[in-house]
Amino acid sequence: MNMFHLKLLLLILLFHATESAFPDTYQWISIDCGAESYTLDTETLINWEPDNEYIQTGMNKNVTQTYTNITMQMQSLRYFPQSTNTPNCYFFITDDIEKYLVRASFYYGNYDGLMKPPTFDVSVNGFKWMTVVTSSSQDKPIVIEAIFSLGHDSMQVCMESTKNGDVPFISSLEVVQLPFTTYSMIDLQSAFLLQQRATFGRREDVEYTGDFTGDMFNRIWKAEGFPNYNNISSSPQFMEVYVENEPPNTVVENAIEASSLFGPIILSFNPSQTNQSLCAILYFIEVSNLRQMNDSREFQIDIGTTKNASAVNLQLGNSVVVTLYHEWVDGPVNITMKAVQGSSLPPLINAMEVYSTMKMQSPPSSDASRVLLSFTYFVLCFLCILI
Ligand SMILES: *[C@@H]1O[C@H](CO)[C@@H](O)[C@H](O)[C@H]1NC(C)=O
Ligand SMILES: *[C@@H]1O[C@H](CO)[C@@H](O)[C@H](O)[C@H]1NC(C)=O
Ligand SMILES: *[C@@H]1O[C@H](CO)[C@@H](O)[C@H](O)[C@H]1NC(C)=O
Ligand SMILES: *[C@@H]1O[C@H](CO)[C@@H](O)[C@H](O)[C@H]1NC(C)=O
Ligand SMILES: *[C@@H]1O[C@H](CO)[C@@H](O)[C@H](O)[C@H]1NC(C)=O
Ligand SMILES: *[C@@H]1O[C@H](CO)[C@@H](O)[C@H](O)[C@H]1NC(C)=O
Ligand SMILES: *[C@@H]1O[C@H](CO)[C@@H](O)[C@H](O)[C@H]1NC(C)=O
């Protein structure tokens, strides 16, 4: 049994291990693509592993140029110069009813010395996830993230050359299984592609920190504040509340609040792709320490052209999580929250996630059948180690 088979077997054992106390970081897969050895992140205790046991194609390279502080993981990459029919896929054993958060990062760093940042596609199990457009003036990696409910017992994340023939590459790849109770709106055989994940009224982003204060599922919440909305935060002891999808306390213990009672909060975003279905998850928790017993905070939410898509009556000590769907057309979409008649306090919002949604159940394309072919190979390998 070679290392690759051993790894597969270990993965299967890991994925079937019983649910244990958080954080389950030993079950997280954190791959430093193109690296030649393990690196332990001493802050988070995440052990970044090299990628050779997940993929059979491509070559390792280090970047030659870094523009700002980039992490260790962005300094090496795997690139795929062959234009053969072999798909360039990372292979993972999955549980067919579970959900997985997948994050892929791409940092060009002029690794090939050509100053020619490539454009290529990333697909998952034969469905196109994203066209990645890298740049040489970038000072940050391109990061894409999605939650997949595959309905399948394996996952293949593939880098595919587009028509222009550019050479694809990848710098890091992370896979985290989410608890079954989170993101229950995601059906089997579908994907939620992350557009934005924000924590409002805070200065610092929130991510996994290696202890219990950060995000337990490897999500990254970007701090967002606005000059025209008040930043408010709670006293530390209020947070005993269960919040759907389990954002960390640091994400929801602060908020932005409209600066006057009937002034709305308007959140605008400009979708990266057009004509897709959009899902916005809005998190509301009362954080104001100044709230009186007789106060009320009631507001309605409009999304795009849909007026009063939802209404919120926020009570002290309760959380309200609203999930809204919207069909994308071209151009920006606004989400507006405004107080209803009779409310004594203006609207607030603590956090928000915006995804575009993708079905993964149409018949596989020809590319996908190639993937399936190589998947058959893996199944055979797997069977032969069982016998
Ligand atoms: C990348 O750099 C590391 C450390 O500097 C080195 O060990 C490794 O061999 C390099 N990888 C390649 C592909 O040159
Ligand atoms: C790099 O990071 C260090 C510590 O986080 C910081 O002090 C320094 O200013 C950063 N440099 C750049 C160029 O961002
Ligand atoms: C809220 O905080 C952000 C920084 O996080 C800041 O840019 C903004 O001006 C603040 N808003 C107010 C009203 O002070
Ligand atoms: C949007 O997508 C739907 C179905 O996916 C298609 O029928 C429609 O023509 C598209 N509209 C535009 C403007 O591209
Ligand atoms: C709540 O009660 C206080 C006095 O206890 C009063 O000043 C305030 O106007 C009341 N607020 C509302 C919304 O009725
Ligand atoms: C908004 O919808 C809620 C029910 O979701 C309803 O109770 C409320 O009256 C509506 N408000 C307006 C202004 O239409
Ligand atoms: C979104 O809101 C802004 C105000 O913040 C407004 O200027 C803009 O026209 C709105 N866009 C749409 C599409 O409604």
Res. 12 pLDDT band, cuts 50 70 90: very low
> What is the rounded average pLDDT for all residues in the chain?
85
User: What phi-psi label fits residue 320: left (phi over 0), alpha (psi between -120 and 50 degrees) or beta?
Assistant: beta
Q: Mark out the alpha helices in the chain (DSSP H runs).
A: 3-15, 249-252, 366-386
CA of 94 to the centre of ligand 1 (A): 31
CA 34 to CA 57: how far, in whole Å?
Answer: 11
3-state secondary structure 57-70: CCEEEECCCCCCCC
Instruction: List, in sequence order, every beta strand (DSSP E) within 152-296.
Output: 154-161, 169-170, 172-178, 190-200, 222-224, 229-233, 254-258, 265-269, 277-285
Asked if pLDDT for residue 5 goes beyond 70, the answer is no
CA 58 to CA 50: how far, in whole Å?
Answer: 13
CA 256 to CA 258: how far, in whole Å?
Answer: 7
Asked if pLDDT for residue 126 goes beyond 90, the answer is yes
Q: Do domains 25-186 and 193-359 have the same CATH topology?
A: yes
Asked if residue 62 has its Cβ within 6 Å of ligand 1, the reply is yes
CATH number for region 193-359: 2.60.120.430
Ligand closest to CA 67: 2
Q: What is the mean pLDDT of residues 65-74?
A: 78
Residue nearest to atom 5 of ligand 7 (CA): 266
Query: Per-domain residue ranges for the chain?
Result: 25-186, 193-359
Distance from chain centroid for Cα 22 = 19
Q: What pLDDT shows up at residue 14?
A: 46
Task: Summarize pLDDT for 288-334 with one digit per residue, the tens.
Answer: 777 888 999 999 999 998 999 999 999 887 899 999 999 877 788 99
Helix or strand run (H / E) with residue 353: strand 351-359
Res. 350 pLDDT band, cuts 50 70 90: very high
Structure tokens at 145: 């993230």
Ligand 2 contacts (CB < 6 A) are 68-69
Q: What is the mean pLDDT of residues 226-249?
A: 83
State whether residue 356 is helix, strand or coil: strand
Non-local (6+) Cβ contacts of 363 within 8 A are none
Q: CATH second-level architecture of 25-186?
A: Sandwich (2.60)
Q: What pLDDT shows up at residue 293?
A: 86
Distances (CA, A) of 152 to 71, 89, 141, 365, 382: 33, 16, 30, 17, 16
Non-local (6+) Cβ contacts of 138 within 8 A are 67, 107, 108, 117
CA 8 to CA 378: how far, in whole Å?
Answer: 10
Asked if pLDDT for residue 20 goes beyond 60, the answer is no
Residue 309's nearest CA partner among 330, 331, 280 is 280
- Which is it for strands 222-224 and 47-48: parallel, antiparallel or unpaired? unpaired
CA of 185 to the centre of ligand 1 (A): 43
Helix or strand run (H / E) with residue 327: strand 319-327
Res. 15 pLDDT band, cuts 50 70 90: very low
Non-local (6+) Cβ contacts of 341 within 8 A are none
- Helix, strand, coil percent values for the chain (each to nearest 5): 10, 40, 50
Could you tell me if 339 and 261 are in contact, meaning their C-beta atoms sit under 8 angstroms apart?
Answer: yes
Res. 144 pLDDT band, cuts 50 70 90: very high
Asked if pLDDT for residue 29 goes beyond 90, the answer is yes
CA of 350 to the centre of ligand 5 (A): 25
pLDDT, greater one: 21 or 302: 302
Structure tokens at 304: 């795009």
Residue nearest to atom 4 of ligand 7 (CA): 266
Task: Summarize pLDDT for 95-104 with one digit per residue, the tens.
Answer: 999 999 999 9
Q: What is the mean pLDDT of residues 45-72?
A: 88
CA of 137 to the centre of ligand 2 (A): 18
CA 202 to CA 211: how far, in whole Å?
Answer: 19
Q: What is the mean pLDDT of residues 238-255?
A: 86
Residue 360's nearest CA partner among 217, 170, 121, 186 is 186
Q: What is the mean pLDDT of residues 37-64?
A: 92
